[in-house]
Amino acid sequence: MEMERTFVMIKPDGVQRGLVGKILQRFEDRGMKIAGMKLIHVTVDLASTHYEEHVGKPFYEPLMKYIQSGPVVVAVIEAPDAIEQVRKMVGATDPADADVGTIRHTWAQDVTRNRIHAADSPASAEGEIGIYFKEGEILDYPLSVHDWMFRD
C-alpha cells in the first residue's frame, strides 16, 4: 500500500473553539497517521508565502489578518490517497455547501471562518508542508492499525 502525505491546518477559530482534538480524532478514527504536528503563530512571512497565489484578490488582506489572529495547528496526515480523503472529510470551503458530517458542516458557519484548511493537490500538499515543516519534523513510523485497515 502506497502512502501519501497531505497538509492540514486547524485555523485560529478551530483552536479558539477547542476543536483540535475532535478534528484530529476524525483523521485518526479513519486510520490516518499524524506524521507531524505543531501549534504555531503564523508569521507575516509564513502567511505571505502560503497565500501568495491570492495576492490582489479582495479577500487577501482579511485572510492575512485572520490567519495571524491566533495560534493554529499544522499537521501532516498520512494515509493511502490522503489528499482526496482528507478533502472529502473537510468538506466544501463554504460550510453552507459542505456535506452533512464533514468537518466544516459540523463546526463552521461562515466561509471566512471555516475552521480548517487542507491541501487540494499533491503540489500544494508538498509546498505547504515545506512552508510549515523543517527537515526532521515529520516522522516516519509504522502504525500497526494499517495492517488491519489497508490491503498491500
SS3 helix, strand, coil % of the chain, rounded to 5? 45, 20, 40
Q: How many CB atoms lie within 10 A of CB 91?
A: 24
Q: Which fold does the domain 4-41+71-149 belong to in CATH? A: Alpha-Beta Plaits (3.30.70)
Helix (H, G, I), strand (E, B) or coil at 142: coil
Question: Any catalytic annotation for residue 117?
Answer: yes
Name residues of the chain where pLDDT drops below 50. Answer: none
Q: What is the pLDDT of residues 75-118, one digit of tens each?
A: 999 999 999 999 999 999 999 999 999 999 999 998 888 999 99
| Catalytic-role residue among 41, 50, 54, 117 | 117
Residue 114 CA to residue 110 CA, distance in Å, equals: 6
Task: Specify the pLDDT at position 112.
Answer: 87
Q: For the chain, which residues make up each domain, given as ranges?
A: 4-41+71-149
pTM above 0.85, yes or no: yes
